[in-house]
Each structure stands twice: as structure tokens, then as C-alpha cells.
Amino acid sequence: MTTYEEAYAKLEQYGQLHVLRYYEELPETEQAELLRQVMDTDFSMLTSREAQAGKSGTRGVIAPLAAMELDTIREREAQFRQTGLEAIRAGRVGAVLLAGGMGTRLGSDALKGMFDIGLTKPVYIFERIMHNTLDVVKESGAWIPFFIMTSDKNHAATTAFFAEHAYFGYDPAYVFFFRQEMAPASDYDGKVYMEEKGKISTSPNGNGGWFVSMERSGVGRKMRELGVEWLNVFAVDNVLQRIADPCFVGAVIAENRASGSKVVRKAAPDEKVGVMCLEDGRPSIVEYYELTRDMMDAKDEKGDPAYNFGAILNYLFRVKDLERIVNNNLPLHVVEKKIPHLDSNGCPVKPQEPNGYKYEQLVLDMIHELESCLPYEVVREKEFAPIKNRTGVDSVDSARELLAKNGVAL
């Protein structure tokens, strides 16, 4: 059992002694719980130089990475589709839904997947995702093992929602939930916030830890037993995305790449999407704010913009390559967020504006750890309708409009 002295020493080392401010007034069980949480928490991230500066690490040398464009995909579609369907039918393709995020920008108290985007009937985000996957189940005649990452904050609600809605028609025998890890959240000086008098404020540690969490939870073993060799990983909020898309899977297999990334042609050179590139000779994604004017103006041999394809958070990973990189440390991203906490009088506060940092690892950084990646172009209006905000860009409104254009009844 952890002693007060051990916890005190650890907190002192990281300048976080305020965590024990209410210790004396806590009931014994909560005291023990807090000491345990102190010992389980990694505070090192709060004192890193990036964290103090409020930004992520520096980048290597960036160069263009050619995408497989629509014309090539159309020419080779029959071959890709057949290869993809064969892999799906053999049980070699699984899907991983990243649903551990807090979806704070949407401003709903319920979790994002439970958000109802219907107009004349309920249409939940999770429902759209499961129905999109069912399209491929129907086409291939095979159930695709479907893994769902949750966090401590939403696990119970997510599993209950799926059960309540009979898995939206999916076979529950092929649905597997696992939880991601949590990380402390801090103020701008790197001091952790307290969520309760006996509890450090934590938040999900980003979507980059999904494979590690899958392995730790034992779900990775299940995946291997099922013979899964490829994992299609995607965000919860794109209600138009194609999941385990046989053509995409077939193209990545045919090109013998370690990974693939669905991309859309940028609407403008300065559009706010991360673009596929090479970084120090390896595949990578450069954030829109890291693109220089020269990079925006650079052209490829066809005269098209050289950094023209934005990633839409729909990746395919080869499991044996992930196994090789599972112990690699991914960079830490410091993200400004609204963090509920106790104020200096010990009263709970739910801020309306960002008030500190969360610390996240991101799935896009896994791409850079791998030897190769196929950027695979898809038609934006058909496959990209992310819901990040309530209104405006990438919102419930814009997604509804795109769904209607694609004939989805709402």
C-alpha cells in the first residue's frame, strides 16, 4: 500500500504538493484512493519543456508524398475491391472506432456518439457508423471484428448505449470494447487541477495510445485469435466515412504498404487540415499551421500543389508493423482545453473558456513510426462529414447537409 510519505515525495519532486491540500479532511477510503492515483499518475509530462511552452515538439525535414489519386483508383478499382473483399472474408480486417474523446467542442453533455443528428427521427452518430460498417458486412458476407475504444469517462455510457440499441444491427459477438489510458490535466503553469478534493483531474490521453491500450486490455489477444492482420482506425465524428472500405484495404495490400491514410484534396492551399508528407524520408502528417508559404506554393511534376491532400483520420495499419513500434514513444501534444476543476476555495467550476492544458498522443504520429504509407484519395463530398462543432465549419449543420446530399434520410 502507498504511504503518504511516498506520495508526498513524488508530488514534491514534480512541484504538485497542492494535490494533498484537502487530504486531512477526506474519509480514509478516499485518502487511500488519492495516494494510489498519485502513484499511478505520470507527472513527467507536465514539466517537459514542450509542456511549459504550451506546444509540441519540433519537426524534421518535410518533403511531398504522392497520393494515389482518384483516376488511378478508378482504373484499378476491380482489382483492389477483390483483394480487399478476400481479406475481409478471410477475417483479416478489423475496425477500430476511436471513441475515447470528450467531444468538448460539440458542447453536449452526452458523449459524441450518442448525439442525435436526426431531424424527423433519431439518427445517432454511433448508428451512422455501425450502418456504414454493415454495408461492407453485406457486400462481403462476413462480420468485421469491431473494436471500440472508450475512456474511463464514457465507458459505462457507451457500452450501455450499444446494448440499449441492440448494437444497431451489428452482431454483438464481433464487438469488443476497451478503455484507453488517462493523463493529468493542468493549468497553464503545469500544476495539475483537482477534479474533487480527493481526485486529480484527468482526461483521456489522446487517440495515439489506442494500440497500446488494445494490447493492455487483452482485446489484442482476441484480435489475433480472430486472425486480424489489418486494422482500419477511424474517428467517431465523420458520419459519412466508409469503414473497412474494400477498395482502400485492397489498394494498401496491393501496394504492400505498412499503412494507408484516406485523404481528401484540399479545398484551398491554406485549408486547415493536416497534410500527408514525408518527414526525414518517412511518411508523416504536417499540421496546417506548420505549412510555410513556400510549401503551400510548391508544385509536383504535374503542376498540382505538392502538399494537396489532407488526412481525414481514417487509417489502415498492418498489425505486424504496429507490433514492432508498440514500445516507441510518440510525441506529446499539449492541447488547450476547458477543464472542470475545484477553484481556490474548493468549489467546483465548469469553465466556459479554455483554462489549461491536456496532454495527448495522436494516432497521426504513428504513421511517422512506420516505413510506408499510402495516401488514398476519396471524394470529400461523399466521405467526409466530420462533426466537431454545433454550427459552422465541421458542424452538425454541415454534416446534415452532406448526409442529405448523399441520400441519407434524417
Decide whether 48 or 389 has the Cβ nearer to ligand UTP.
389
Decide whether 87 or 127 has the Cβ nearer to ligand UTP.
127
**Is 190 near ligand UTP (CB under 6 A)?**
no
**Is 236 near ligand UTP (CB under 6 A)?**
yes
Query: Closest residue to ligand UTP, Cβ-based?
Result: 101
**Is 133 near ligand UTP (CB under 6 A)?**
no
**Is 104 near ligand UTP (CB under 6 A)?**
yes
Phi-psi region of 388 (alpha: psi -120 to 50; beta: other; left: phi over 0): alpha
The CA-CA-CA angle for residues 121, 126, 127, to 5°, reads 45
DSSP state, residue 180:
P
| Binding letters toward ligand UTP, positions 334-363, x by CB under 6 A | --------------------------x---
Query: In whole angstroms, how far apart are CA 274 and each of 43, 136, 267?
Result: 29, 28, 13
Binding segment for ligand UTP (CB under 6 A), chosen from 4-12, 103-111, 114-122, 294-302, is 103-111
Instruction: Report the nearest approach of ligand UTP to the CB of residue 35 (Å).
Output: 25
**Is 105 near ligand UTP (CB under 6 A)?**
yes
Which of helix, strand or coil describes residue 106? helix
Which one among 32, 63, 66, 102 touches ligand UTP, defined by CB under 6 A?
Answer: 102
Q: Torsion angle of alpha carbons 44, 49, 52, 57, nearest 10°?
A: -100
Instruction: Using the structure block, give the residue that is written with the C-alpha cell 494500440.
Output: 211
Segment 195-214, which members bind ligand UTP (CB under 6 A)? 204-207
Which one among 235, 247, 374, 396 touches ligand UTP, defined by CB under 6 A?
Answer: 235
Which one among 31, 180, 201, 202 touches ligand UTP, defined by CB under 6 A?
Answer: 180
Decide whether 132 or 207 has the Cβ nearer to ligand UTP.
207
**Is 101 near ligand UTP (CB under 6 A)?**
yes
Q: Are 375 and 261 in contact (CB under 8 A)?
A: yes
**What residues does 374 pair with on adjacent strands?**
260
**Is 385 near ligand UTP (CB under 6 A)?**
no
Burial-class residue 301 by CB neighbours within 10 Å (0-12, 13-18, 19+): exposed
Which of helix, strand or coil describes residue 362? coil
Count of residues of this chain found to bind ligand UTP when the rule CB under 6 A is applied: 19
Phi-psi region of 346 (alpha: psi -120 to 50; beta: other; left: phi over 0): left
Q: List interacting residues with ligand UTP (CB under 6 A).
A: 98-105, 149, 180, 204-207, 235-237, 360, 388
